[in-house]
């Protein structure tokens, strides 16, 4: 197990380097000047050149990358061009909000998704299967941006029950896990949970159906085992793949969503990225993308290790 974990850990290094180069270049090959958004539009060429020097954008790309990567290794992702605030601090503060939203969406999406999927797979071909499958397809198909707006129109504008935007009654700074705060969390969390719910439901349904069709399940039934015992075996066999899909979905949720966080003005990493894109705030964009990418890579690693624990055959392969 340790050798497997070490081998998987080593795989992360080239991925991390690749991700860092990719996100650095991706931003630099995009058209436009990083200082364009912060300088007055009629700033003279001379003044622009002065500011470019001051911010270090006059150096060759490879030097800029080297300096950035060295600092990033020490946990310093630099300062935002637009605000001058520490990028690490900005990401940390936004990540907390995204994690809270992701946990809420995970709770809703995974619970409903697993339940619907299991019921559909276990009772395949019945009306329960058709209903659960329809719901899961709907979850995958409905654009969450649109769904978010519809929920806002119904629950905020028309009924006035829940707030339409924001990260808490006084912003996320005064966060207290009470009803006043959860009111703000509810709509974005429901919106965010819909796609993972659909994907997980469809995956679990397919897995459970496959397992149910296997010989050992029929043998268990033939031996007179009761449904709860069969269910336990089915779950154990379906779990590794389901877990892998859940891990990817969790990464997707934890990464925040630009669309959902923008629709609800939820101050997470998606909202942060959206602002950084519009202000062409390169250090903030690079830092946020890098952190999110590494987060995703780490999560995949954890899922792989968990799969190895649940199913030792994976380690051997």
Partner 1 sequence: MKRSILTGLLSVVAAQALMVSTVLGAGTLRIGMTLSDIPLTTGQTDQGGEGQRFVGFTLYDSLVEWDLSASDKPSVLVPGLAKSWAVDAADKTKWIFKLRENVKFHDGSAFDAAAVVWNLDKLLKNDAPQFDPRQSAQGKSRIPAVASYKVIDPLTVEISTKTPDATLPYQLAWILLSSPANWEKLGKSWDAVAQKPSGTGPWKMENGFKPRERAELTANKTYWDTARVPKLDKLVLVPLPEANARVAALRSGEVDWIEAPAPDAAASLKSAGFVISTNAYPHNWTWHFSRVEGSPWNDIRVRKAANLAVDREGEKELLGGMMIPATGFFPPGHQWFGNPTFKLTRDVEAAKKLMAEAGYGPGKRMQTTVLISPSGSGQMIPLPMNEYIQQNLSEIGIDIKFEVADWNTVINIWRAGAKDPSAKGVTAMNYSYFIQDPFTGFIRHLQCDLAPPAGTNWGYYCDKDMDALFEKVRNTFDAADQDKVLQKVHEKYVDEALFLMVTHDVNARALSKQVKGFVQPQNWFLDFSQVTIQ
Residues of this chain that interact with partner 1 (CB under 8 A) are 31-33, 35-48, 51, 54-55, 82-85, 90, 93-94, 149, 152-153, 156-157, 160-161, 163-167, 169-173, 179-180, 183, 262-265, 267, 271-272, 274-275, 278-280
Query: Minimum CB separation from partner 1 for residue 267, in Å?
Result: 5
Q: Which C-beta is closer to partner 1: that of 117 or that of 163?
A: 163
Distance CA 37, CA 280 (A): 6
Q: How far is the CB of 243 from partner 1 (least distance, A)?
A: 35
Question: Which DSSP string corresponds to 81-109?
Answer: TTT--BHHHHHHHHHHHHHHHHHHHHHHH
| Closest CB 35 distance from partner 1, rounded Å | 8
Measured from the CB atom, is 240 or 267 closer to partner 1? 267
CB-wise, 129 or 261, nearer to partner 1? 261
Per the CB < 8 A criterion, the answer to whether 16 and 69 are in contact is no
Nearer to partner 1, 54 or 310 (CB): 54
- Write the DSSP assignment of 43-60 as a string of letters: --HHHHHHHHHHHTTTS-
Query: Which residues lie closer than 8 Å to 93 by C-beta, 6 or more apart?
Result: 172, 267
CB of 300 vs partner 1, minimal distance in Å: 29
Closest approach, Cβ 283 to partner 1, in A, equals 13
Q: Which is nearer to partner 1, 198 or 275 (CB)?
A: 275
Task: Show the tokens assigned to 226.
Answer: 């009761």
Neighbouring residues of 38: CB distance < 8 A, sequence distance ≥ 6: 81, 82, 279
């Amino acid at each position: 197990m340790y050798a497997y974990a070490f081998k998987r850990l080593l795989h992360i290094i080239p991925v991390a380097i690749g991700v860092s180069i990719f996100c650095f270049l991706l931003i630099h090959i995009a058209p436009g000047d990083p200082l364009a958004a912060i300088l007055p539009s009629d700033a003279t060429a001379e003044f622009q050149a002065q500011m470019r020097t001051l911010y270090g954008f006059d150096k060759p790309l490879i030097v800029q990358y080297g300096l950035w990567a060295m600092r990033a290794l020490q946990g310093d992702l630099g300062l935002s061009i637009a605000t001058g605030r520490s990028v690490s601090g900005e990401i940390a503060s936004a990540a907390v909000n995204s994690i809270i939203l992701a946990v809420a969406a995970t709770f809703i999406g995974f619970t409903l998704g697993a339940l619907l999927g299991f019921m559909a797979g276990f009772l395949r071909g019945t009306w329960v299967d058709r209903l659960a499958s329809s719901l899961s397809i709907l979850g995958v198909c409905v654009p969450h941006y649109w769904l978010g707006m519809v929920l806002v129109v119904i629950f905020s504008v028309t009924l006035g029950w829940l707030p339409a935007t924001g990260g808490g009654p006084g912003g996320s700074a005064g966060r207290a896990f009470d009803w006043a705060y959860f009111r703000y969390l509810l709509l974005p969390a429901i919106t965010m949970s819909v796609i993972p719910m659909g994907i997980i439901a469809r995956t679990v349904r397919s897995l459970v159906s496959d397992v149910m069709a296997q010989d050992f399940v029929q043998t268990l039934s033939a031996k007179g085992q009761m449904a709860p015992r069969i269910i336990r075996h089915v779950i154990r066999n379906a779990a590794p793949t389901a877990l892998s899909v859940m891990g990817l979905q969790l990464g997707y949720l934890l990464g925040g969503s630009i669309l959902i966080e923008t629709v609800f003005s939820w101050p997470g990493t998606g909202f942060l990225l959206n602002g950084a894109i519009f202000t062409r705030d390169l250090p903030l964009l690079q830092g946020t993308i890098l952190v999110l990418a590494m987060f995703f890579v780490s999560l995949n690693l954890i899922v792989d290790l968990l799969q190895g624990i649940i199913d030792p055959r994976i380690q051997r392969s």
